[in-house]
Amino acid sequence: MNMKNNKKLFRVFIFASIILFFTASILAGCATMESGSIHRLKVRVRKLNKKTAELSQNQSYTDKKLSQMQLNTANNGVKLSSLNAKIRDIYGKYEVESHNIRLLQKRFREYRLIVNKELVKLLKLAKLKPVPPKKALKTRIRKAVVERESAMESEFKRDLSLFNKKKYGSAISDFRKFLNKYPQSKYAADALFYKAFANFDLKRYPVSILEFHKFSRLYPKNTNIPMSIYLQGVGFLNVSDPSDASILFRQVIAKYPETKAAALSKQELNKLSK
Protein backbone atom coordinates (compact mmCIF):
# COMPACT_ATOMS: atom_id res chain seq x y z
CA MET A 1 0.00 0.00 0.00
CA ASN A 2 2.76 2.36 0.85
CA MET A 3 4.48 1.62 -2.45
CA LYS A 4 1.33 2.35 -4.38
CA ASN A 5 0.78 5.56 -2.48
CA ASN A 6 4.33 6.62 -3.11
CA LYS A 7 3.97 6.03 -6.86
CA LYS A 8 0.79 8.04 -6.98
CA LEU A 9 2.44 10.88 -5.12
CA PHE A 10 5.41 10.75 -7.47
CA ARG A 11 3.12 10.89 -10.49
CA VAL A 12 1.21 13.83 -9.05
CA PHE A 13 4.48 15.59 -8.35
CA ILE A 14 5.75 14.95 -11.88
CA PHE A 15 2.43 16.14 -13.37
CA ALA A 16 2.42 19.28 -11.20
CA SER A 17 6.02 20.06 -12.15
CA ILE A 18 5.17 19.75 -15.84
CA ILE A 19 2.19 22.10 -15.40
CA LEU A 20 4.30 24.62 -13.49
CA PHE A 21 6.97 24.47 -16.20
CA PHE A 22 4.50 25.13 -19.01
CA THR A 23 2.79 27.88 -17.02
CA ALA A 24 6.10 29.64 -16.38
CA SER A 25 7.01 29.33 -20.08
CA ILE A 26 3.69 30.85 -21.16
CA LEU A 27 4.02 33.72 -18.70
CA ALA A 28 7.58 34.44 -19.86
CA GLY A 29 6.42 34.49 -23.50
CA CYS A 30 3.63 36.93 -22.68
CA ALA A 31 6.07 39.23 -20.92
CA THR A 32 8.35 39.15 -23.95
CA MET A 33 5.41 39.87 -26.27
CA GLU A 34 4.22 42.72 -24.05
CA SER A 35 7.68 44.30 -24.04
CA GLY A 36 7.92 44.08 -27.86
CA SER A 37 4.47 45.67 -28.32
CA ILE A 38 5.40 48.62 -26.09
CA HIS A 39 8.59 49.15 -28.09
CA ARG A 40 6.69 49.13 -31.36
CA LEU A 41 4.16 51.59 -29.93
CA LYS A 42 6.96 53.93 -28.86
CA VAL A 43 8.47 53.77 -32.36
CA ARG A 44 5.11 54.62 -33.91
CA VAL A 45 4.61 57.47 -31.46
CA ARG A 46 8.00 58.92 -32.40
CA LYS A 47 7.13 58.64 -36.10
CA LEU A 48 3.80 60.35 -35.50
CA ASN A 49 5.53 63.17 -33.59
CA LYS A 50 7.96 63.61 -36.46
CA LYS A 51 5.11 63.72 -38.97
CA THR A 52 3.30 66.27 -36.81
CA ALA A 53 6.40 68.50 -36.68
CA GLU A 54 6.80 68.27 -40.47
CA LEU A 55 3.13 69.18 -40.99
CA SER A 56 3.55 72.15 -38.63
CA GLN A 57 6.57 73.37 -40.60
CA ASN A 58 4.65 72.97 -43.87
CA GLN A 59 1.75 74.97 -42.41
CA SER A 60 4.11 77.78 -41.38
CA TYR A 61 5.65 77.82 -44.85
CA THR A 62 2.19 77.87 -46.44
CA ASP A 63 1.09 80.75 -44.19
CA LYS A 64 4.24 82.69 -45.06
CA LYS A 65 3.68 82.16 -48.80
CA LEU A 66 0.03 83.19 -48.48
CA SER A 67 1.03 86.37 -46.64
CA GLN A 68 3.59 87.16 -49.35
CA MET A 69 0.98 86.61 -52.08
CA GLN A 70 -1.44 88.96 -50.31
CA LEU A 71 1.30 91.62 -50.02
CA ASN A 72 2.16 91.24 -53.72
CA THR A 73 -1.51 91.57 -54.62
CA ALA A 74 -1.77 94.79 -52.61
CA ASN A 75 1.40 96.20 -54.23
CA ASN A 76 0.10 95.32 -57.69
CA GLY A 77 -3.14 97.09 -56.86
CA VAL A 78 -1.23 100.27 -55.94
CA LYS A 79 0.83 100.08 -59.14
CA LEU A 80 -2.30 99.55 -61.22
CA SER A 81 -3.96 102.56 -59.61
CA SER A 82 -0.88 104.69 -60.35
CA LEU A 83 -0.82 103.44 -63.95
CA ASN A 84 -4.49 104.32 -64.39
CA ALA A 85 -3.79 107.83 -63.07
CA LYS A 86 -0.92 108.23 -65.56
CA ILE A 87 -3.17 107.05 -68.40
CA ARG A 88 -5.86 109.54 -67.39
CA ASP A 89 -3.25 112.29 -67.28
CA ILE A 90 -1.90 111.39 -70.73
CA TYR A 91 -5.43 111.26 -72.12
CA GLY A 92 -6.14 114.66 -70.58
CA LYS A 93 -3.01 116.13 -72.16
CA TYR A 94 -4.00 114.62 -75.50
CA GLU A 95 -7.43 116.26 -75.21
CA VAL A 96 -5.78 119.59 -74.39
CA GLU A 97 -3.46 119.36 -77.39
CA SER A 98 -6.35 118.46 -79.67
CA HIS A 99 -8.30 121.42 -78.33
CA ASN A 100 -5.34 123.74 -78.89
CA ILE A 101 -4.90 122.52 -82.46
CA ARG A 102 -8.55 123.24 -83.21
CA LEU A 103 -8.16 126.71 -81.69
CA LEU A 104 -5.06 127.39 -83.78
CA GLN A 105 -6.86 126.35 -86.94
CA LYS A 106 -9.75 128.64 -86.06
CA ARG A 107 -7.38 131.54 -85.26
CA PHE A 108 -5.55 131.01 -88.51
CA ARG A 109 -8.80 131.31 -90.46
CA GLU A 110 -9.76 134.44 -88.49
CA TYR A 111 -6.30 135.94 -88.99
CA ARG A 112 -6.45 135.27 -92.72
CA LEU A 113 -9.80 137.07 -92.94
CA ILE A 114 -8.41 140.04 -90.98
CA VAL A 115 -5.36 140.24 -93.28
CA ASN A 116 -7.54 140.12 -96.38
CA LYS A 117 -9.75 142.91 -95.02
CA GLU A 118 -6.73 145.06 -94.18
CA LEU A 119 -5.30 144.50 -97.65
CA VAL A 120 -8.54 145.60 -99.22
CA LYS A 121 -8.55 148.75 -97.06
CA LEU A 122 -4.93 149.53 -97.97
CA LEU A 123 -5.65 149.11 -101.66
CA LYS A 124 -8.61 151.49 -101.41
CA LEU A 125 -6.52 154.05 -99.53
CA ALA A 126 -3.73 153.77 -102.09
CA LYS A 127 -6.16 154.53 -104.89
CA LEU A 128 -8.17 157.31 -103.22
CA LYS A 129 -5.66 159.30 -101.11
CA PRO A 130 -2.56 161.13 -102.31
CA VAL A 131 0.78 160.31 -100.75
CA PRO A 132 1.34 162.74 -97.82
CA PRO A 133 4.64 164.59 -97.35
CA LYS A 134 7.26 163.05 -95.02
CA LYS A 135 6.54 165.35 -92.08
CA ALA A 136 2.82 164.75 -92.27
CA LEU A 137 3.44 161.03 -92.65
CA LYS A 138 5.62 160.92 -89.52
CA THR A 139 2.97 162.82 -87.59
CA ARG A 140 0.28 160.41 -88.70
CA ILE A 141 2.48 157.44 -87.78
CA ARG A 142 3.15 158.83 -84.31
CA LYS A 143 -0.53 159.51 -83.84
CA ALA A 144 -1.42 156.01 -85.00
CA VAL A 145 1.15 154.50 -82.58
CA VAL A 146 -0.20 156.55 -79.67
CA GLU A 147 -3.76 155.59 -80.50
CA ARG A 148 -2.78 151.93 -80.78
CA GLU A 149 -0.94 152.02 -77.44
CA SER A 150 -3.91 153.69 -75.81
CA ALA A 151 -6.28 151.12 -77.29
CA MET A 152 -4.03 148.25 -76.11
CA GLU A 153 -3.84 149.60 -72.58
CA SER A 154 -7.57 150.18 -72.45
CA GLU A 155 -8.37 146.69 -73.68
CA PHE A 156 -5.89 145.05 -71.33
CA LYS A 157 -7.23 146.91 -68.30
CA ARG A 158 -10.78 145.93 -69.27
CA ASP A 159 -9.76 142.25 -69.58
CA LEU A 160 -7.86 142.40 -66.26
CA SER A 161 -10.93 143.91 -64.61
CA LEU A 162 -12.96 140.86 -65.70
CA PHE A 163 -10.30 138.59 -64.17
CA ASN A 164 -10.30 140.52 -60.88
CA LYS A 165 -14.09 140.26 -60.75
CA LYS A 166 -13.66 136.46 -61.16
CA LYS A 167 -15.52 136.47 -64.46
CA TYR A 168 -13.00 133.94 -65.67
CA GLY A 169 -14.84 132.69 -68.76
CA SER A 170 -15.18 136.18 -70.22
CA ALA A 171 -11.63 137.08 -69.14
CA ILE A 172 -10.17 134.04 -70.93
CA SER A 173 -12.06 134.86 -74.13
CA ASP A 174 -11.00 138.52 -74.07
CA PHE A 175 -7.36 137.76 -73.19
CA ARG A 176 -7.28 135.35 -76.14
CA LYS A 177 -8.58 138.06 -78.49
CA PHE A 178 -6.09 140.54 -77.05
CA LEU A 179 -3.15 138.18 -77.65
CA ASN A 180 -4.29 137.52 -81.22
CA LYS A 181 -4.61 141.25 -81.87
CA TYR A 182 -1.49 142.44 -80.02
CA PRO A 183 0.92 139.45 -79.84
CA GLN A 184 4.01 141.66 -79.47
CA SER A 185 2.61 144.26 -77.08
CA LYS A 186 4.09 145.07 -73.68
CA TYR A 187 0.92 143.64 -72.11
CA ALA A 188 1.17 140.28 -73.90
CA ALA A 189 3.10 138.55 -71.08
CA ASP A 190 0.62 139.59 -68.40
CA ALA A 191 -2.32 138.72 -70.65
CA LEU A 192 -0.96 135.19 -71.11
CA PHE A 193 -0.23 134.80 -67.39
CA TYR A 194 -3.71 135.87 -66.29
CA LYS A 195 -5.32 133.77 -69.00
CA ALA A 196 -3.48 130.72 -67.61
CA PHE A 197 -4.41 131.76 -64.06
CA ALA A 198 -8.09 132.01 -65.03
CA ASN A 199 -8.00 128.46 -66.43
CA PHE A 200 -6.33 127.32 -63.21
CA ASP A 201 -9.07 128.92 -61.07
CA LEU A 202 -11.65 127.17 -63.26
CA LYS A 203 -9.84 123.89 -62.42
CA ARG A 204 -8.85 123.33 -66.04
CA TYR A 205 -5.52 122.06 -64.77
CA PRO A 206 -4.09 120.43 -67.94
CA VAL A 207 -4.82 123.60 -69.95
CA SER A 208 -3.36 125.87 -67.26
CA ILE A 209 -0.20 123.71 -66.99
CA LEU A 210 0.46 124.08 -70.72
CA GLU A 211 -0.22 127.83 -70.66
CA PHE A 212 1.99 128.46 -67.60
CA HIS A 213 4.74 126.43 -69.29
CA LYS A 214 4.37 128.53 -72.46
CA PHE A 215 4.48 131.72 -70.37
CA SER A 216 7.68 130.59 -68.58
CA ARG A 217 9.32 129.72 -71.88
CA LEU A 218 8.39 132.97 -73.67
CA TYR A 219 9.00 135.38 -70.76
CA PRO A 220 11.70 133.83 -68.52
CA LYS A 221 12.52 137.17 -66.82
CA ASN A 222 8.95 138.18 -65.98
CA THR A 223 8.25 138.79 -62.27
CA ASN A 224 5.35 136.30 -62.38
CA ILE A 225 7.64 133.37 -63.30
CA PRO A 226 7.97 131.97 -59.70
CA MET A 227 4.19 131.95 -59.22
CA SER A 228 3.75 130.45 -62.68
CA ILE A 229 6.04 127.50 -61.83
CA TYR A 230 4.36 127.04 -58.44
CA LEU A 231 0.89 126.95 -60.02
CA GLN A 232 2.13 124.40 -62.56
CA GLY A 233 3.15 122.21 -59.61
CA VAL A 234 -0.27 122.56 -57.98
CA GLY A 235 -1.83 121.70 -61.32
CA PHE A 236 0.22 118.48 -61.49
CA LEU A 237 -0.89 117.61 -57.96
CA ASN A 238 -4.50 117.89 -59.07
CA VAL A 239 -3.94 115.53 -62.03
CA SER A 240 -2.34 112.88 -59.77
CA ASP A 241 1.31 113.47 -60.58
CA PRO A 242 3.05 114.38 -57.28
CA SER A 243 6.55 113.53 -58.57
CA ASP A 244 6.46 116.28 -61.24
CA ALA A 245 4.84 118.65 -58.76
CA SER A 246 7.65 118.06 -56.25
CA ILE A 247 10.29 118.86 -58.90
CA LEU A 248 8.60 122.17 -59.73
CA PHE A 249 8.21 123.15 -56.05
CA ARG A 250 11.91 122.49 -55.44
CA GLN A 251 12.80 124.53 -58.53
CA VAL A 252 10.90 127.54 -57.16
CA ILE A 253 12.59 127.24 -53.74
CA ALA A 254 16.06 126.92 -55.28
CA LYS A 255 15.80 129.73 -57.87
CA TYR A 256 13.43 132.18 -56.15
CA PRO A 257 13.89 131.59 -52.38
CA GLU A 258 12.63 135.00 -51.23
CA THR A 259 9.33 134.95 -53.12
CA LYS A 260 5.80 134.18 -51.97
CA ALA A 261 5.77 131.28 -54.43
CA ALA A 262 8.77 129.73 -52.62
CA ALA A 263 6.97 129.89 -49.26
CA LEU A 264 3.89 128.26 -50.79
CA SER A 265 6.09 125.61 -52.43
CA LYS A 266 7.63 124.72 -49.05
CA GLN A 267 4.15 124.24 -47.60
CA GLU A 268 3.20 121.88 -50.44
CA LEU A 269 6.43 119.87 -50.04
CA ASN A 270 5.75 119.50 -46.32
CA LYS A 271 2.30 118.12 -47.11
CA LEU A 272 3.77 115.65 -49.61
CA SER A 273 6.36 114.41 -47.10
CA LYS A 274 3.69 113.44 -44.53
Q: Is pLDDT at 201 greater than 70 in this prediction?
A: yes
The model's pTM is 0.51
* Most confident stretch, 37-51, 67-81, 253-267: 253-267
Nearest by Cα to 235 from 255, 211, 267 = 211
- Most confidently modeled range among 29-33, 92-96, 218-222: 218-222
Kindly tell me if the per-residue pLDDT of 147 is higher than 50.
yes
Residue 141 has pLDDT above 80, yes or no: no
- Between residues 133 and 102, which one has the greater pLDDT? 102
**Are 212 and 228 a contacting pair, CB within 8 Å?**
yes
pLDDT per residue over 104-114, tens digit each? Answer: 777 767 767 77
pLDDT class for 157, splitting at 50, 70, 90?
very high
User: Concatenated DSSP letters for the chain?
Assistant: -HHHHHHHHHHHHHHHHHHHHHHHHHHHHHHHHHHHHHHHHHHHHHHHHHHHHHHHHHHHHHHHHHHHHHHHHHHHHHHHHHHHHHHHHHHHHHHHHHHHHHHHHHHHHHHHHHHHHHHHHHHHHHHHSPPPPHHHHHHHHHHHHHHHHHHHHHHHHHHHHHHHTT-HHHHHHHHHHHHHH-TTSTTHHHHHHHHHHHHHHTT-HHHHHHHHHHHHHH-TT-TTHHHHHHHHHHHHHHTT-HHHHHHHHHHHHHH-TTSHHHHHHHHHHHHHH-
Q: Check whether 36 has a pLDDT greater than 80.
A: no
Mean pLDDT of 228-251: 92
Does the pLDDT at position 233 exceed 90?
yes
Residue 80 predicted with pLDDT over 60: no
Residue-wise pLDDT tens digits, 57-71: 767 777 777 777 777
Instruction: Give the mean pLDDT of 131-149.
Output: 62
Residues 6+ apart with CB under 8 A from 260: 226, 227
For residues 33-60, average pLDDT: 71
Mean of all residue pLDDT scores within the chain: 79
12: pLDDT strictly greater than 80: no
**Percentage of the chain surpassing pLDDT 90?**
40
| Residue 245 near residue 222, CB atoms below 8 Å | no
Mean pLDDT, residues 129-156 taken together: 68
206 burial type by CB count under 10 A (0-12 exposed, 13-18 middle, 19+ buried): buried
Residue with the bigger pLDDT between 250 and 124: it is 250
